[in-house]
Amino acid sequence: MSCPVCNTWNTTGQACVQVRCLACNAEQCHSRGLGRGTCSICYRGMLPGWSGNNNPDQPGRYSSSVRTDVRCQYKGCDEMAVYTSLPGPKDKACKFHGDAIVARRHNRRVR
């Protein structure tokens, strides 16, 4: 049996818990997260419910479980980090700083 959405094997044959990436807001199966809970769509955003990023409030409930102690590593910024695995020494960043880094890597302007 497997999840009908992502085809990941599970014992129930039901859909996995759905989560939204904190950076790109893409909805995906919780089990599809890449290494250390990064988004499988944008490759840089954090997924709720992964250890090191966010922890569940209750078993199987990840949508509201955002850790607030993971902070942006940019000087003077105290926002919650939504990006992880960014290139450079500051690998965790808030939405504003992370969007700027991703846009710079793709030579696009942030709006």
- Higher pLDDT, residue 80 or 107: 80
What integer pLDDT is reported at residue 56 of this predicted model? 45
- 3-class DSSP assignment, residue 9: strand
3-state SS string for 24-92: CCCEEEHHHCCHHHECCCCCCEECCCCCCCCCCCECCECCCCCCCCCECCCCCCCCECCECCCCCCCCC
Sorted by where each begins, the domain ranges of the chain are: 1-111
**Residue labelled with tokens 């919650």:** 80
| pLDDT tens-digit readout, 7-46 | 777 777 777 778 888 889 988 887 766 666 788 888 888 8
